[in-house]
Amino acid sequence: MLNSNIPLAERMRPSSFSQFVGQEHLVAPDAVLRKMIESRNLASFILWGPPGVGKTTLARIIAQDLERTFYSLSAVSSGVKDVRQIIDRSRSNKMFQKNSPILFIDEIHRFSKSQQDALLGAVEDGTVVLIGATTENPSFEVISPLLSRCQVYVLKPLGVKDLETLFERALKEDEYLKTLNIQVEETEAIFRLSGGDARKLLNIIEIVVSSYDQGETIVFNDEEVQKRLQKNIVLYDKNGEQHYDIISAFIKSIRGSDPNGAVYWLARMISGGEDPLFIARRMVILASEDIGLANPNAFLMANACFDAVHKIGMPEGRIPLSQTAIYLATSAKSNSAYRAIEEAFESVMRHGDLSVPLHLRNAPTELMKELGYAKDYKYAHDFEQNFVIQEFLPAEISGTSFYHPQDNAREKEISRFLERWGNKYSKV
């Protein structure tokens, strides 16, 4: 292990704009965010970008540069009480402070609606300047009243040149690393595995270095980096390969009607820091794609779960997530709605824009009526049991079936309903 209790990523954290790497479109001398900071007239804003690109660091540098009090909260572990305490403290100290303090909220998208509501008044009256950081699209995750009071700045993954700068700086400037015998032969693997994430890059350096015995020459090449990482990285990475593997296992467990697998992979994602709204969104999709008409209530429940998690946040949100995962897993399954729209899309691509039959067209003008628009259209409610046989597809694909009821109780009823009126669907 490194002979320091402070992680390398923290030891290398920039403390000024001159040390900050990347995001030139925001922090270069003529960039929009830099100009606002230099004007000393700071307004609330949200930094949106992937992990490890400098959101927290940038907020700290701004506070230091403007000499403002800096409060920091994590939406994962903080609640309304914490927010109100900072707001009350800021109001009490207002007469002693030249400028409003900065309230930095990391992962602001994790705040529930009520938690975000608690910020509105203080942001609007200038009690605090809010700087939010999020990895999710603020348009979906931040309430509209708060979003309207904040500018959104988008941060980008770091490029190869940025990663090279960080890598070289760590080896040359870190008080511990510069005492070691380090030989750099190749960097492609370490840059690729970092994925444009500065924190991940520095963590990889730390893992590789710590895997060598004291006094050994530390070699950075593609083979060594990958070999030593495979032995040391076992944690869930919500932005890497395991992110996709575990959500895949979760979805397949539900599709395969296994509630035990579903809750296990759900627990793995939650304990690994996965965004609960991402999980809830995937269950909404699954409820239509894999359950669909076999149990229409599944879609309603998945939507209710998403709303509940958005309102109450975590850790309580794990309960409706578990309830919904188990409900979906134990529900009857059908992908008939999914297959129907896919077949319809294929028909559209194959046949192009077929003309709407005249009897189905609208006829708001006399000319259109004279041309035959709406002629011979049969209004279903004028007939017995509100049904009449007529063609609803273009002539070129008349009689085509896109929807095929599957073998479950609900769709057997649908199949009988359709057959009753002479529709040509395959019997279940």
Domain annotation covers residue 16: no
pLDDT average, residue stretch 106-134: 87
| Inside any domain, residue 366 | yes
Identify whether residues 261 and 320 lie together within a single domain.
yes
Answer with the one of 201, 232, 263 that is the final residue of a domain.
232
In a 13 Å sphere around the CA of 218, the CA atoms on its Cβ side amount to 20
Residue 131 pLDDT exceeds 90: yes
- Shared domain check, 134 and 106: yes
Segment 341-350 mean pLDDT: 88
**CA gap 190, 198 in Å, rounded:** 11
Reported as a pLDDT band with limits 50, 70 and 90, residue 283 is very high
Distances (CA, A) of 122 to 64, 116, 167, 242: 21, 11, 41, 40
Per-residue model confidence as pLDDT tens digits over 191-228:
888 878 888 899 889 888 888 888 888 888 888 888 87
Instruction: Name the least confident of 180-184, 201-205, 271-275.
Output: 271-275
Split at pLDDT 50, 70, 90, the class of 120 is confident
pLDDT at 427 over 50: no
Report in angstroms the alpha-carbon separations of 241 from 127, 250, 292, 428.
42, 14, 29, 40
* 359 band by pLDDT with thresholds 50, 70 and 90: confident
Average pLDDT over residues 125-146: 86
pLDDT band at 231; cut points 50, 70, 90: low
Question: What tens digit of pLDDT does each residue of 401-415 get?
Answer: 888 888 888 888 888
Q: Do the domain assignments include residue 15?
A: no
User: What single-letter amino acid sits at 51?
Assistant: P
| CATH code, domain with 28 | 3.40.50.300
pLDDT of residue 421: 66
Please give the tally of structural domains in the chain: 4
How far apart CA 260 and CA 133 sit, in angstroms, is: 35
Q: Is residue 6 in a domain?
A: no
* Structural domain harbouring 202: 160-232
Higher-confidence position of 259 and 234: 259
Which tens digit of pLDDT belongs to each residue from 2-58? 445 688 888 989 888 888 888 889 988 888 888 888 888 888 999 998 888 889 999
CATH of the domain at 318: 1.20.272.10
| Per-residue tokens: 303 | 């939507």
115/56 same-domain check: yes
Query: Average pLDDT in the 166-186 region?
Result: 90
| Closest CA relative to residue 359, chosen from 377, 378, 380 | 377
Flag whether pLDDT at 311 surpasses 70: yes
pTM of the model: 0.55
Give the per-residue pLDDT at 243: 66
